[in-house]
């Protein structure tokens, strides 16, 4: 750990460096602001560096962007909102060309649309699907939009050389020899400028506590937020740097739903400080983390229909509770016993390969039943939190657009009973303005008939529904290019041909 202590000379030199890079060309800057310490230092230094320039030098735009994953820890996101507003107001007052923006995931890719709608299992370190969908993609969309408008952009990030050894190497490998900018690892015409890469952790705190925030924030409050936490979830805009950082999720500046970490330090900290209305959120998050690896909640094939086998740990298994099937007979066994891998909860099945090794079926997304339970519990959690919320009885954990996206996904996955509006009404006692076009194709009694027919003919109801949905999607089009391929792809799914 470095002990370099910040001084006026070092700050002056850093601001001069920022000014030189700013004045060197007309490429606009995009500054990532996560609300955490490192990005606060960067925004503050950039703000101060600009304030010292003459007005005719302030020619190019600086966009300060923050990501709102829509599942941000509630008190953190309101503090980020306040800060963005203060930065914007102060910049206007001083005539600085700074614009603040929030970037959000697309509605069909939010945390809830992915987890409850599509059944993505709660994220963990090895399957962290959320950072791309919730943070990187929205930030990249913003950046690419600016690239298409201005030709090139420079991203200004709060990464530091010594945050971790690997990150240090990534930073070095991207640096253009002798230049202050790094090439972005994947975005064309985008460059990365890391003005505080030489800062140590001590420098960061020294600066924040000795140099007051130009827009009137109290940086001591920021320090208080870090008391039980030692890292932040940066606003990530470079995938390589993100992968090596590894800090996303272990932070107060992440999502309240984050199951990548074992404990949610942010929620616990706030609750300990008297924010009792967050207790239901913590309970829900812990439950979401618990059910992740429970096979009962998971499909026994992947989202694309692929079935995979994993070595069984025989120390954890009482063989008497299991049926052992030779691998070559797996398909026949499932068919004879009419086992639907998408919805079966308990499957005490061991598959023995030719060499006598025992394997278990790998897990896929959450089952429809699990998704229904998650949605119900989430709405109940929202209701409880609303009742306890000190000043916002309409506080939301999930938005109306997300519920509509989930309804669409469920419908595609064969929920023809249209459960989203029902669950919503059962929990909240209210109705939403649901799209009439998304009404189910069949009435309930017709569905029961279909189910019976499928059983009689040994046909998968799930497959039938999928095929009908494909036909529905192409209905009304004169040229139905792609229909044949879609049908073929569906019929070739792994689990149908074991
Ligand atoms: S904080 Fe956790 S849930 Fe949110 S994007 Fe980061 S890893 Fe994913």
24-33, 248-257, 435-444 — most confident range? 24-33
User: Is 239's pLDDT higher than 80?
Assistant: no
Backbone dihedral angles phi then psi of residue 343, each to the nearest 5 degrees:
-130, -10
User: Is 236's pLDDT higher than 50?
Assistant: no
Q: Which atom of ligand 1 is nearest to the CA of 257?
A: 3
- In this prediction, residue 115 has a pLDDT band, given cuts at 50, 70 and 90, of very high
Burial of 165 (0-12, 13-18, 19+ CB in 10 A): exposed
**pLDDT computed for residue 481 by the predictor:** 77
- How far does residue 269's CA lie from ligand 1's centre (Å)? 18
The residue nearest atom 5 of ligand 1, judged by CA position, is 131
User: Is 232's pLDDT higher than 60?
Assistant: no
User: Is 390's pLDDT higher than 60?
Assistant: yes
What the block records as the tokens of 213 is: 């925030």
User: To test the ligand 1 pocket, which listed residue (123, 246, 281) has its Cβ within 8 A of the most ligand atoms?
Assistant: 123
- 12 Cβ contact partners less than 8 Å away, ≥ 6 residues apart: none
- How far does residue 88's CA lie from ligand 1's centre (Å)? 27
Distance, first Cα to last Cα, the chain: 55
**pLDDT computed for residue 340 by the predictor:** 84
CB atoms within 10 A of CB 10: 16
- How far does residue 114's CA lie from ligand 1's centre (Å)? 13
CATH 3.40.50.620 region(s) of the chain?
Answer: 8-255
- How far does residue 311's CA lie from ligand 1's centre (Å)? 29
User: Is 496's pLDDT higher than 70?
Assistant: no
**pLDDT computed for residue 8 by the predictor:** 87
- In the chain, % of residues over pLDDT 70: 88
Q: Which atom of ligand 1 is nearest to the CA of 111?
A: 3
User: To test the ligand 1 pocket, which listed residue (231, 233, 237, 257) has its Cβ within 8 A of the most ligand atoms?
Assistant: 233
Higher pLDDT, 63 or 35: 63
**C-alpha distances out from residue 84 to 8, 39, 171, 236, 252, Å:** 26, 13, 28, 18, 18
Beta bridge partners of 190: 153
Average pLDDT over residues 350-374: 94
Average pLDDT over residues 365-381: 97
Q: Among 216-230, 398-412, 460-474, which stretch is predicted with the lowest mean pLDDT?
A: 216-230
- How far does residue 255's CA lie from ligand 1's centre (Å)? 5
CB atoms within 10 A of CB 300: 24
The residue nearest atom 8 of ligand 1, judged by CA position, is 130
**pLDDT computed for residue 303 by the predictor:** 86
- 222 Cβ contact partners less than 8 Å away, ≥ 6 residues apart: 37, 40, 208
Average pLDDT over residues 174-181: 60
Fold of 8-255: Rossmann fold (3.40.50)
**pLDDT computed for residue 240 by the predictor:** 55
Helix (H) or strand (E) holding 403: helix 400-412
**pLDDT computed for residue 337 by the predictor:** 86
User: To test the ligand 1 pocket, which listed residue (231, 260, 263) has its Cβ within 8 A of the most ligand atoms?
Assistant: 260
Q: Which atom of ligand 1 is nearest to the CA of 261?
A: 2
Q: Among 93-102, 217-226, 294-303, which stretch is predicted with the lowest mean pLDDT?
A: 217-226
**pLDDT computed for residue 284 by the predictor:** 97
User: Is 227's pLDDT higher than 80?
Assistant: no
Alpha-carbon distance of 356 to 25, in angstroms, equals 67
**pLDDT computed for residue 68 by the predictor:** 92
User: To test the ligand 1 pocket, which listed residue (242, 248, 259, 266) has its Cβ within 8 A of the most ligand atoms?
Assistant: 248
The residue nearest atom 7 of ligand 1, judged by CA position, is 249
Closest CA to 6 of 164, 230, 163, 198: 198
Q: Which atom of ligand 1 is nearest to the CA of 134?
A: 5
- How far does residue 465's CA lie from ligand 1's centre (Å)? 34
- How far does residue 136's CA lie from ligand 1's centre (Å)? 11
**pLDDT computed for residue 242 by the predictor:** 47
User: To test the ligand 1 pocket, which listed residue (72, 131, 235, 246) has its Cβ within 8 A of the most ligand atoms?
Assistant: 131
Alpha-carbon distance of 443 to 320, in angstroms, equals 43
- How far does residue 140's CA lie from ligand 1's centre (Å)? 17
20-29, 223-232, 414-423 — most confident range? 20-29
- How far does residue 96's CA lie from ligand 1's centre (Å)? 33
- What's the chain's average pLDDT? 86
User: Is 330's pLDDT higher than 70?
Assistant: yes
**pLDDT computed for residue 249 by the predictor:** 42
Q: Among 309-313, 394-398, 406-410, 483-487, which stretch is predicted with the lowest mean pLDDT?
A: 483-487
- How far does residue 470's CA lie from ligand 1's centre (Å)? 33
Beta bridge partners of 323: 349
Average pLDDT over residues 336-360: 89
- How far does residue 145's CA lie from ligand 1's centre (Å)? 24
Q: Among 196-210, 214-228, 338-352, which stretch is predicted with the lowest mean pLDDT?
A: 214-228
Question: 4 with 203: CB under 8 angstroms?
Answer: yes
CB-defined site of ligand 1, < 6 Å: 69, 123, 128, 130-131, 134-135, 233, 248-249, 254-255, 257-258, 260
User: Is 64's pLDDT higher than 60?
Assistant: yes
Report pTM.
0.83
Q: What are the counts of helices (DSSP H) followed by strands (DSSP E) for the chain? A: 19, 10
**pLDDT computed for residue 233 by the predictor:** 47
């Amino acid at each position: 750990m470095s002990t370099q202590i910040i001084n006026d000379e070092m700050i002056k030199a850093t601001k001069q460096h920022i000014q030189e890079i700013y004045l060197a060309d007309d490429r606009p800057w995009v500054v990532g602001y996560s609300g955490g310490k490192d990005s606060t230092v960067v925004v503050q230094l950039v703000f101060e560096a600009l304030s010292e320039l003459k007005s005719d030098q302030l020619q190019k735009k600086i966009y300060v962007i923050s990501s709102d994953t829509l599942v941000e820890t509630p008190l953190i996101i309101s503090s980020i909102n306040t800060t963005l507003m203060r930065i914007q107001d102060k910049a206007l007052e001083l005539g600085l060309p700074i614009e603040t923006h929030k970037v959000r995931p697309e509605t069909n890719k939010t945390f809830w649309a992915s987890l409850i709608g599509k059944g993505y299992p709660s994220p963990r370190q090895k399957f962290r699907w959320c950072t791309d969908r919730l943070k990187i993609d929205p930030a990249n969309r913003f950046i690419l939009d600016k690239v298409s408008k201005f030709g090139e952009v420079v991203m200004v990030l709060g990464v530091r050389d010594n945050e971790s050894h690997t990150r240090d190497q990534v930073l070095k490998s991207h640096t253009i020899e002798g230049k202050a900018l790094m090439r972005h690892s994947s975005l064309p015409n985008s460059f990365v400028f890391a003005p505080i890469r030489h800062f140590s952790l001590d420098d960061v705190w020294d600066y924040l506590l000795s140099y007051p925030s130009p827009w009137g924030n109290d940086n001591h409050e920021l320090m208080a937020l870090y008391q039980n936490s030692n890292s932040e979830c940066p606003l990530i805009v470079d995938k390589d740097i993100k992968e090596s950082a590894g800090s996303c999720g272990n932070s107060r500046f992440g999502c309240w739903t984050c199951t990548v970490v074992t404990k949610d330090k942010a929620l616990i900290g706030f609750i300990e400080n008297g924010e009792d209305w967050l207790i239901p959120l913590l309970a829900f998050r812990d439950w979401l983390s618990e059910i992740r690896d429970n096979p009962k909640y998971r499909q026994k094939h992947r989202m694309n229909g692929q079935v995979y086998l994993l070595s069984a740990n025989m120390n954890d298994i009482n063989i008497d509770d299991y049926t052992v099937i030779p691998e070559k007979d797996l398909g026949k066994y499932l068919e004879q016993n009419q086992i639907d891998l998408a919805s079966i909860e308990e499957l005490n099945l061991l598959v023995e390969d030719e060499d006598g090794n025992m394997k278990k079926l790998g897990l896929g997304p959450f089952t429809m039943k699990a998704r229904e339970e998650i949605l119900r519990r989430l709405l109940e959690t929202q209701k409880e939190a609303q009742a306890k919320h000190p000043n916002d009885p309409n506080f939301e954990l999930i938005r109306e657009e997300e519920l509509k996206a989930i309804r669409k996904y469920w419908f595609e996955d064969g929920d023809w009973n249209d459960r989203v509006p029902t669950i919503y009404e059962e929990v909240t006692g209210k109705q939403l303005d649901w799209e009439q076009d998304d009404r189910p194709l069949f009435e309930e009694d017709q569905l029961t008939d279909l189910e019976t027919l499928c059983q009689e003919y040994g046909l998968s109801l799930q497959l039938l529904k999928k095929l009908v949905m494909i036909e529905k999607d192409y209905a009304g089009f004169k040229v139905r290019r792609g229909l044949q391929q879609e049908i073929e792809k569906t019929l070739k799914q792994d689990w149908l041909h074991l």
